[in-house]
Amino acid sequence: MVRLYSKTDKMTHVLTADYAAARRAFSREGLKAARKHVEKAISNSSSEYGLLLMIVGCVIIVTASVLAVVTFPTRESTRGKTKTE
């Protein structure tokens, strides 16, 4: 648990710094400079961005699973539907 906290803390600091630098590059030089900075940041700190993608993927999977369970038809609702048809 401590290692996970340490990794996520490092990730948030790296992502915040990269976002601030990309925002400064965008406001000073435009979209191309910001895009170059983002590409450079991703290549330099790939483990932090990989962790971010894993977290986002887990959130998407859990959300999809919950939606599948909530919207799955029950036997009672399908029986009622077939009897009325």
Is the distance from CB of 15 to CB of 48 less than 8 angstroms?
yes
Q: What distance in Å separates the CA atoms of residue 40 and residue 13, rounded to the nearest whole number?
A: 17
Is the distance from CB of 15 to CB of 52 less than 8 angstroms?
yes
Q: What distance in Å separates the CA atoms of residue 43 and residue 68, rounded to the nearest whole number?
A: 36
Q: What is the pLDDT of residues 3-48, one digit of tens each?
A: 878 878 888 888 888 889 889 998 998 889 888 888 888 888 777 7
Whole-model pTM: value is 0.54
Q: What is the pLDDT confidence band of residue 49, given thresholds at 50, 70 and 90? A: confident
Q: Tell me which residue has tokens 């450079």.
A: 40
The DSSP output letter for 74 is: P
The DSSP output letter for 72 is: S
Q: What is the pLDDT confidence band of residue 53, given thresholds at 50, 70 and 90? A: confident
**What's residue 51's pLDDT?**
77
